[in-house]
C-alpha cells in the first residue's frame, strides 16, 4: 500500500509539474504559438515541424493530437495537413522523455525555490511566465523522485522483477502492458514517466522496456480516438490516421528494426537503461516519421476506407470553434477570432439580402435574411459560451483583454444582424402593401447603403488584417453616414410636405435610413475595437 501511495503521489506531482510547465511555456510563447499554426500548408514536412514544435511547448503528444482532431473538426485544418502534424507530435513528445532521464532531481527543490522567488517579485510578465515554466519543471522532477523512492522496495520483490523480465521474452505481452497503462492514465507522458522511473531503479531491462515503450506509443492514440467521438467524419479520420501510424510503426520496429535500434542505443549508453529507453523513443519516432511520411496518402486512404463518406461542407454557422482546441488557449483565441470574423461575414450576407429585398422587392431575399439572422443569433450564443470557457483557461492578461474585446465585437455584429432583420421586415411590409418609392428616394437609399456596406465591410477587413488606417477610415465613413442620414431625413420630409411621396412609404423610408445609420455605428464600434487591439499589441 505504501508503494501505491508513493507512486500515486509522485505521479500526481509529475503530471501537475508538467501541466504547470506547459501552461508557463504556452503563456510565454503566446502569439508565437498562433504563428506556428499559421505555418501550416499542404506541405507534409512543414506539418511535421509544426507538430513537433507545438508538442514541445504543450508537452503532450496526446494534447496535440486532440487539438488536431479539434482543428479538423472545426474546418481549420485539412486531413492531409493533419497527417504531418500528428507525425511531428510523436517526435515532439520524445523531448519530455529526454528531459526526465537527465537525473537532476537533487537540484529540483532549488529550481522550484528560485523560480518561485522570481515569480513572486518580478513585475516583468514574460519573466514571470518563464518562472512559472521552471516551477513546473522542478515539480516534475520532484514527482519523479517520489516515484523512484516508492518503487525501490520492488527491487527485492522477485515476482515483480520476473514479470517485467517476461515482457522481454513475450514482447507482445509487453506491448499490451504499455498500451493498458497508457489507456488507464490517459497520458503517454505519465506512462513513459513510470517506465523511466522503473528503469532508473534497475527494475526494467532494455529488452522489456522497448515493447512496453511501443505499447505506450499505441496507447496514446486512444486519447485522440475518444476525443473524435461526436466529431465529424474528417476528424474521426485524423484520429484513425494517428492510430494506424503508431501501430504500423510498432510492427515495423518489432519485426524489422528492433535489433538495429537496440545496437544503436546500447552503443550510445551501454549501462543506463533509462537513457537507452529515452533514446529508443526518439529514434523510433523520428525513423517512423521518415519511413511513413512518403506513404501518408496510404494512411489517409485506409482512414477513409474505415470511415467512409464524403467531406462535410460547413459553410454557414459555427465553423472554427471546438472545445478540444481550448487545450492551447492562445490557439483557441485565434480560432475564436476567426469565428468572430466568420460571424461578421454571415451578418454581412444577411444585410445584403435585406437591402436587395428592399430594392428588387424579392421575397426570396427577405426569407434568406430571416434565415441568416437566426444563424447569427445562434453563432453569437455559441461564441459567447466559448469565450467564457476561454476566459477560464490559463490565458495571459494580454489575451484576456482581447477576449473581453471580442465579447463587445460579437455583440456589435449581432446587432448588425438585428438591423438587417428589421430591414427585411420593412421590405416585407413594402411587398405586402405594394408600396413604392420615388426614383430620387431609391437613389438616395442606394447612395447611403453604399457608404454603410463599405463601412461594415472595411471594419471586417480591418479586424482580419489589424489595419489601423483602414479602421480609421471606417470611423470617418460613419461620420459621413450620420451627416447623410440627417440630410436624407430632411429631404424626405420636404418631399412628404410637397406631397411627392405617399405618407406610408415615407415612414418606411425613414425607418430604413435609421436602421442603416445604426449599422454604421456598429461598424465604427468594431473598427474602434481593432484600433484598441493594435495599440495594446504595441
Low-confidence ranges of the chain (pLDDT < 70): 1-2, 28-42, 59, 155-157, 160-161, 168, 309-316, 499-502, 538
Q: How far apart are CA 311 and CA 237, in angstroms?
A: 11
Q: Where in the chain is the domain with CATH 1.20.58.220?
A: 323-537
Apex CA 317: angle with CA 512 and CA 332, to 5°?
115
Which stretches does DSSP call E strand in 259-409? none
In Å, how far from its chain's centre is CA 378? 21
Residue 368 has a pLDDT of 94
Q: Which CATH architecture has domain 323-537?
A: Up-down Bundle (1.20)
- CB-based contacts of 365, cutoff 8 Å, min separation 6: 353, 354, 356, 357, 424, 427
Contact between 175 and 217 under an 8 Å Cβ cutoff? The reply is no
Residue 519 has a pLDDT of 96
Q: Where does residue 457 rank: exposed (0-12), middle (13-18), buried (19+ CB within 10 A)?
A: middle
Residue 271 has a pLDDT of 82
User: Which phi and psi angles does 245 have, rounded to 5°?
Assistant: -60, -45
Report the chain's C-alpha Rg in angstroms. Answer: 30
Contact between 146 and 13 under an 8 Å Cβ cutoff? The reply is yes
State the CB neighbour count (10 A cutoff) for residue 465: 11
**Residue 40 exposure: Cα atoms within 13 Å on the Cβ side:** 22
Contact between 517 and 485 under an 8 Å Cβ cutoff? The reply is yes
Q: Which of 303, 337, 272, 322 is nearest to 102 (CA)?
A: 272
Contact between 100 and 196 under an 8 Å Cβ cutoff? The reply is yes
- Return the C-alpha cell found at 44: 507534409
In order of 49, 190, 208, 233, 373, the CA distances from 11 in angstroms are 30, 7, 21, 35, 51
The enclosing H or E element of 413 equals: helix 397-432
Phi-psi group of 393: left, alpha or beta (phi > 0 → left; psi -120 to 50 → alpha; rest → beta): beta
Three-state secondary structure call for residue 93: coil
Three-state secondary structure call for residue 232: coil
Read off the pLDDT of residues 85-119 as tens digits, 9 standing for 90 and up: 888 888 888 887 887 777 777 788 888 899 999 88
User: Which phi and psi angles does 395 have, rounded to 5°?
Assistant: -85, 160
Contact between 222 and 240 under an 8 Å Cβ cutoff? The reply is no
Read off the pLDDT of residues 5-50 as tens digits, 9 standing for 90 and up: 777 888 788 778 877 887 777 776 666 666 666 566 567 788 888 8
Amino acid at each position: 500500500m505504501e508503494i501505491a501511495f508513493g507512486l500515486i503521489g509522485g505521479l500526481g506531482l509529475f503530471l501537475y509539474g508538467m501541466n504547470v510547465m506547459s501552461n508557463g511555456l504556452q503563456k510565454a510563447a503566446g502569439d508565437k504559438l498562433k504563428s506556428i499554426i499559421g505555418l501550416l500548408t499542404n506541405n507534409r514536412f512543414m506539418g511535421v515541424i509544426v507538430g513537433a514544435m507545438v508538442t514541445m511547448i504543450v508537452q503532450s503528444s496526446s494534447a496535440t493530437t486532440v487539438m488536431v482532431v479539434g482543428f479538423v473538426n472545426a474546418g481549420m485544418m485539412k486531413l492531409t495537413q493533419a497527417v504531418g502534424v500528428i507525425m511531428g507530435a510523436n517526435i515532439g513528445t520524445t523531448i519530455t522523455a529526454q528531459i526526465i532521464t537527465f537525473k537532476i532531481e537533487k537540484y529540483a527543490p532549488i529550481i522550484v525555490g528560485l523560480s518561485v522567488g522570481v515569480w513572486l517579485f518580478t513585475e516583468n510578465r514574460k519573466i514571470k511566465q518563464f518562472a512559472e515554466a521552471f516551477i513546473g519543471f522542478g515539480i516534475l522532477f520532484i514527482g519523479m523522485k517520489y516515484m523512484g523512492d516508492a518503487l525501490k522496495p520492488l527491487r527485492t520483490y522477485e515476482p515483480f522483477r520476473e514479470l517485467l523480465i517476461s515482457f522481454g521474452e513475450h514482447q507482445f505481452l509487453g506491448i499490451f502492458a504499455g498500451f493498458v497503462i497508457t489507456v488507464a492514465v490517459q497520458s503517454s507522458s505519465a506512462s513513459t514517466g513510470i517506465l523511466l522511473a522503473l528503469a532508473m531503479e534497475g527494475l526494467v531491462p532494455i529488452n522489456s522496456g522497448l515493447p512496453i515503450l511501443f505499447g505506450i506509443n499505441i496507447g496514446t492514440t486512444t486519447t485522440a480516438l475518444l476525443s473524435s467521438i461526436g466529431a465529424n467524419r474528417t476528424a474521426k479520420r485524423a484520429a484513425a490516421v494517428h492510430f494506424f501510424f503508431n501501430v504500423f510503426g510498432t510492427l515495423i520496429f518489432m519485426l524489422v528494426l528492433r535489433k538495429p535500434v537496440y545496437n544503436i542505443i546500447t552503443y550510445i549508453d551501454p549501462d543506463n537503461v533509462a537513457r537507452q529507453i529515452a533514446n529508443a523513443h526518439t529514434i523510433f519516432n523520428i525513423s517512423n516519421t521518415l519511413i511513413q511520411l512518403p506513404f501518408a496518402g496510404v494512411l489517409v486512404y485506409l482512414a477513409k476506407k474505415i470511415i467512409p463518406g464524403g467531406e462535410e461542407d460547413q459553410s454557414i454557422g459555427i465553423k472554427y470553434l471546438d472545445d478540444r482546441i481550448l487545450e492551447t488557449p492562445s490557439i483557441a483565441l485565434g480560432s475564436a477570432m476567426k469565428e468572430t470574423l466568420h460571424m461578421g461575414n454571415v451578418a454581412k450576407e444577411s444585410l445584403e439580402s435585406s437591402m436587395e429585398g428592399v430594392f428588387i422587392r424579392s421575397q426570396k431575399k427577405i426569407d434568406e435574411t430571416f434565415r441568416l439572422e437566426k444563424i447569427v443569433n445562434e453563432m453569437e450564443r455559441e461564441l459567447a459560451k466559448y469565450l467564457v470557457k476561454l476566459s477560464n483557461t490559463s490565458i495571459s492578461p494580454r489575451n484576456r483583454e482581447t477576449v473581453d474585446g471580442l465579447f463587445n465585437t460579437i455583440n456589435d455584429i449581432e446587432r448588425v444582424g438585428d438591423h438587417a432583420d428589421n430591414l427585411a421586415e420593412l421590405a416585407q411590409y413594402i411587398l405586402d402593401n405594394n408600396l413604392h418609392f420615388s426614383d430620387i428616394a431609391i437613389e438616395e437609399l442606394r447612395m447611403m447603403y453604399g457608404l454603410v456596406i463599405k463601412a461594415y465591410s472595411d471594419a471586417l477587413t480591418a479586424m482580419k488584417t489589424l489595419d489601423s488606417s483602414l479602421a480609421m477610415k471606417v470611423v470617418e465613413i460613419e461620420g459621413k453616414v450620420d451627416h447623410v442620414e440627417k440630410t436624407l431625413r430632411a429631404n424626405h420630409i420636404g418631399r412628404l410636405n410637397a406631397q411627392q411621396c405617399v405618407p406610408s412609404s415615407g415612414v418606411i423610408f425613414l425607418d430604413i435610413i435609421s436602421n442603416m445609420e445604426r449599422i454604421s455605428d456598429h461598424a465604427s464600434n468594431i473598427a474602434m475595437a481593432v484600433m484598441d487591439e493594435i495599440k495594446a499589441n504595441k
